Amino acid sequence: MSEQKITLAHGSGGQLTHDLIKHLFVRHFANPHLSRLTDAAVLSLPDTRIALTTDSYVIRPLFFPGGNIGKLAVCGTVNDVAVMGAKPLYLTCGLIIEEQFDYETLEQIVASMAHTAREAGVEIVIGDTKVIERGSGDGLFINTAGIGVCYYQFPPTIEIGDKIMINGTLGDHEIAVLSARQNLGFDVDVASDCASLAGLIGHVLKAYSSVKFMRDPTRGGLATVLNEIVEGQPFGIALDETDIPMKDAVRGICALLGFDPLYLANEGKVVLVVSAADAPRLLETMRAHPLGRDSRIIGEVVEAPQGLVYLRTNIGGKRVVDMPVGTQLPRSGDLTGFENL
């Protein structure tokens, strides 16, 4: 990495992000908690286990269909704690504000954070603000940390035949932000799926002990999460294209611009690996929750090829689903700034 420069692709959630984390931060900060590379670190205290996470939020525009940077910060942090089998309890909030930023706009964002936190059942208990010179930022950056108490212990192994599940349609968030940022020349009826998943996850984990893995497919999308699961493992994952839920509008825009929906960011989705025996009943349990009505079984853990994810396509073929290397580029047009979604 010594001769390289940091690029926007290093923040896209794909292979370059993975390499940066593994070869720089993990190498220098090495400890057993960090080396697991999970969404939150599970820490054992004398009487309990806690999950601790942190994240920073940069997005343009600050407001988009279905949310804003404040709602995104709360939901994203809550979800990173929840997927570790923990009940989110407390958040921190740090804001870097560019001078001359509109006060009323800031209040809208802060009020949205407060409302979203109440809905998620968490409290924002401490914070910090810094104001930077105009032109040296992008309006507003938010950093949050979250802490929760673990109530679920994931089984230690993923096995051949386990099912892959997701709680709804792919790509809504990234397409909603894209439509708000760019002049696409046509109307896009898609809102971000930005939502707190703590209720849905608690609903599932308190009913079943056979959930083996959970992760929210944000930057880098579903493809990144699944590649992280199989990396270095004696199994692979097969997806079924016909079973992957997607809104018609998202599918159409992906076809028009040449995007692969498997790599699009989501902010209200959770990917699960569950035992085959419990998968049908667990699917019905998820569908009984408002955030899980469109849940599907989308694939399975397979014996071979080991360490790979592949897609069984609608036309009967197969294609490898790699870890993304950088950001997706549109087939045509000027869609600059498509990173940091």
**What is the CA angle 133-56-2, rounded to 5?**
85
pLDDT tens figures, 66-75: 999 999 999 9
pLDDT tens figures, 130-152: 998 888 888 999 999 999 999 99
Q: Does residue 110 have a pLDDT over 70?
A: yes
Beta 63-64 vs 67-68: how paired, if at all? antiparallel
Domain range annotation of the chain: 38-150, 163-320
- Residue type, position 258, single letter: G
Residue predicted with more confidence, 131 or 10: 131
pLDDT tens figures, 312-327: 999 999 999 999 877 7
User: In CATH, what is the architecture of 38-150?
Assistant: 2-Layer Sandwich (3.30)
**What sections of the chain are H helices per DSSP?**
15-20, 26-29, 32-35, 69-82, 103-120, 172-181, 198-205, 221-230, 248-257, 279-287
| Model pLDDT, residue 329 | 56
User: In CATH, what is the architecture of 163-320?
Assistant: Alpha-Beta Complex (3.90)
pLDDT tens figures, 188-208: 889 999 999 999 999 999 999
pLDDT, average across residues 210-223 = 97
Cα torsion angle, 315, 293, 51, 118, sign: positive
